[in-house]
Amino acid sequence: MSKTYKITVMPGDGIGTEVMAETIQLLDAVSAKCGFKLEYNEQAAGGAAIDKYNDPMPDSVIAACKASDATLLGAMGGPKWDHYTGAMRPESGLLKIRKELNVFANLRPVSVPAALANSSPLRPEAVSGVDLLTVRELVGGIYFGKPTGNDGFEAFNTMRYTVPEIERVARVAFNWARKRRNKVTSVDKANVLDVSRLWRDTVKKLHAAEFADVELNHLYIDNATMQVVLNPRQFDVILTSNLFGDILSDTTATLGGSLGLLPSASLGEKYGLFEPVHGSAPDIAGQGKANPVAMILSASMMLDFLGETKAAAAIRKGYETALTQNLRTADLWREGYKKASTSEMGKVIREEALKSL
């Protein structure tokens, strides 16, 4: 009997509906070929949920995610909802679901195959072959620390971490390094911040006690950002806190030339949340110009999480083959390449994924 997985799907706003549609078609195709089933429960999130529920992330949507095997989430927000503030902002829904699902480790892989190197803002020889993974702590740090306040004259936020919070995300980074090239670079600001000194000390102790076989080094956030630009191929797994990871992972995301290529997974002890790195791009919504790859590769990470590794690998193979065919969506197109719409790119990836199975 084939296995069935329950998936909560939140297309989100802007281009979210378009790229999600291509992703679902692809998931249906590879799951049928590999002998398992996906049952989808579509929910509104972000601006769409404000319109429907007057809440960017209602408790009923959180409950649906907790009742599922995994959640696929599209980008949220847009000019239509920019006048909302505080907990009513579409982006606040994203923080809420991360906290509620306790998905404390955000994984952002960045790879630049040779076929994509010419699209990078850096020299092709500097980025060709880049394969790094940023592991960012996601539910602590300055985004969630208390107290916070803003009285119109003074505003403040608090960066807080405990030893257990640091240890659990560091374990994720070390374990992923063991599956890759066995190297972790921990990024902090230990020369200035007490919280970063605790971060560094905790990572060192954990490394000595449980992961001495993994190479470990440390960089300050300012140097790490510079090194990502100067020599990105030196990195394997980057481990860092919520704020620094937010900045650093977006920096690494530019290496391939477009945010439209970058997937992410947010993992906890029980739940998995999978979403593209890019925003809702309302300026191109509905025009068939959106790049579906980030959403598609996020779905591939979801299949890995579910244990369907064969189907996950086929999706990645389909994407890589589309690149070698010189197919590019508008964000990456230049003379000498074939311009593809959202649906055309999705169709080729789907066809090539099926061929590899």
User: Which residues form the catalytic set?
Assistant: 143, 189, 222, 246, 250
Q: Alpha-carbon dihedral of residues 30, 31, 34, 35, nearest 10 degrees?
A: -150
CB 332 within 8 A of CB 7: no
CA distances from residue 241 to 40, 98, 194 in whole angstroms, order as listed: 33, 15, 13
> What ranges in the chain are assigned the alpha helix state H?
16-34, 47-53, 59-66, 90-101, 124-127, 163-179, 194-210, 221-230, 242-253, 293-306, 309-324, 342-355
According to DSSP, residue 114 is labeled G
According to DSSP, residue 167 is labeled H
Q: Count Cβ atoms within 10 A of the Cβ of residue 99 and give its class: 0-12 exposed, 13-18 middle, 19 or more buried.
A: middle
Phi, psi of 150 (to 5 degrees): -155, 110
Tokens coding 116: 């994509």
Q: Count Cβ atoms within 10 A of the Cβ of residue 337 and give its class: 0-12 exposed, 13-18 middle, 19 or more buried.
A: middle
> Is residue 292 helix, strand or coil?
coil
